[in-house]
């Protein structure tokens, strides 16, 4: 069995460290570098690795936008094109890091081959009602491709606050000559009837048959991608709805990536620091996020020594 890591990247800082912790025999690493970043910097940072593939079909990734999904699909298509046979395909970013050794990860995935590691919850239970409405029924537009800002439009809302917001946002679009979006939003937006909506964490590990099924499904249902052009944070709904609507619940397990969304008094999700080592020791997950290569460096050193049993970079 192979492991394919599908990495979403925008900053080369510390990327060599992450890559060395993932690299192993029968491991391939596919990297999507954000179009805003310099591909050459990554290629220089990872020179010497023979199992790295930088994909050429790159997206300008915007937080909360369909571009994140498209970047992921580009990675998936590259994996499918290489026809790697039976494999696990693990989606990660530069803010992730393994918290189990390579040998443990390999044995664990081999033992559980066929399971889908994807936290996926029926949409009505995933978020509060107003958030579900925002994601499924409102049109969300990202007018500035370099910022996290977005605006939402819903001509069919009965709430005064939403009506006021829609009017304000339509004036903004009008001034910026985005008449296409205004006209599009006049049509009521409903989730595609051929799927049930599910949501959850972006990060997953999919066996080959599931990855191929998702790509084949999208070829047959291009309207699904079109719908999500206006979804707020579609990467937390897009894959979940396809998979949970088409595969038995018995195959679907929580994500193999640990994220702390529950801590009080800090920005969420938690960016782990050296005081969080025990928390990471106690997780059953294979990977964790978020880490910052500068502020989390001491913690990463401790993870290397105490959890991964390594202190050296390894080049494959």
- Look up the domain containing 155 and give its range: 138-185
Are 150 and 118 found together in one domain? no
- Residue 8 DSSP symbol: E
CB 280 within 8 A of CB 99: yes
Residue 92 CA to residue 112 CA, distance in Å, equals: 19
Our count of domains for the chain comes to 2
Which two structure tokens, joined as six digits, stand for 64? 């909360």
Are 79 and 176 found together in one domain? no
Are 226 and 268 found together in one domain? yes
Residue 157 belongs to a domain:
yes
Q: Mind listing the pLDDT tens digit for each residue in 135-168?
A: 999 999 887 666 667 888 988 886 777 888 888 8
What share of the chain has pLDDT > 90, as a percent? 77
What is the pTM assigned to this prediction? Answer: 0.93
Residue 31 CA to residue 252 CA, distance in Å, equals: 26
Are 96 and 208 found together in one domain? yes
pLDDT band at 315; cut points 50, 70, 90: very low
Q: Mind listing the pLDDT tens digit for each residue in 87-140?
A: 999 999 999 999 999 999 999 999 999 999 999 999 999 999 989 998 999 999
Residue 153 CA to residue 134 CA, distance in Å, equals: 9
Q: Which residues of 213-233 are buried (b: 16+ CB within 10 A; e: fewer)?
A: bbeebbeeeeebeebbbbbbb
Are 10 and 92 found together in one domain? yes
CATH code of residue 17:
3.90.550
- Indicate the range of 6-20, 34-48, 168-182, 284-298 predicted with least confidence: 168-182
Are 163 and 75 found together in one domain? no
Residue with tokens 């025990």: 278
Per 3-state DSSP, what percentage of the chain is helix, strand, and coil (rounded to 5)? 40, 15, 40
Are 160 and 271 found together in one domain? no
Are 30 and 165 found together in one domain? no
CB 134 within 8 A of CB 152: yes
Residue 234 CA to residue 199 CA, distance in Å, equals: 9
List phi, psi (to 5°) of 64. Answer: 75, 10
Are 77 and 201 found together in one domain? yes
Are 105 and 241 found together in one domain? yes
């Amino acid at each position: 069995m192979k492991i394919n890591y599908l990495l979403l990247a925008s900053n080369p800082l510390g990327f060599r460290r992450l890559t060395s912790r993932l690299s192993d025999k029968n491991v391939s690493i596919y990297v999507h570098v954000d179009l805003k970043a310099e591909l050459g910097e990554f290629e220089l940072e990872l020179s010497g690795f023979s199992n790295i593939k930088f994909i050429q079909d790159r997206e300008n990734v915007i937080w909360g936008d369909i571009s994140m999904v498209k970047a992921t699909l580009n990675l998936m298509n590259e994996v499918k094109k290489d026809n790697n046979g039976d494999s696990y395909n693990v989606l990660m970013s530069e803010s992730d890091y393994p918290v189990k050794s390579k040998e443990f990860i390999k044995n664990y995935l081999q033992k559980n081959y066929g399971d889908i590691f994807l936290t996926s919850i029926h949409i009505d239970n995933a978020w509060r009602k107003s958030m579900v409405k925002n994601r499924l029924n409102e049109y969300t537009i990202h007018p500035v491709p370099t910022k996290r800002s977005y605006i939402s439009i819903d001509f069919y809302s009965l709430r005064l606050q939403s009506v006021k917001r829609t009017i304000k946002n339509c004036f903004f679009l009008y001034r910026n000559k985005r008449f296409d979006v205004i006209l599009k939003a006049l049509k009521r937006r409903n989730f595609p009837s051929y799927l049930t909506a599910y949501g959850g964490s972006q990060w997953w590990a999919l066996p080959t048959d599931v990855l191929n099924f998702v790509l084949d499904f999208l070829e047959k249902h291009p309207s699904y991608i079109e719908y999500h052009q206006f979804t707020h944070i579609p990467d937390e709904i897009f894959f979940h709805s396809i998979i949970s609507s088409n595969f038995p619940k018995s195959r679907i397990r929580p994500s193999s990536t640990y994220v702390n969304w529950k801590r009080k008094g800090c920005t969420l999700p938690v960016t782990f620091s050296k005081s969080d080592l025990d928390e990471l020791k106690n997780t059953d997950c294979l990977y964790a996020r978020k880490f910052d290569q500068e502020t989390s460096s001491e913690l990463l050193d401790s993870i290397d020594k105490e959890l991964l049993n390594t202190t050296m970079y390894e080049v494959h």
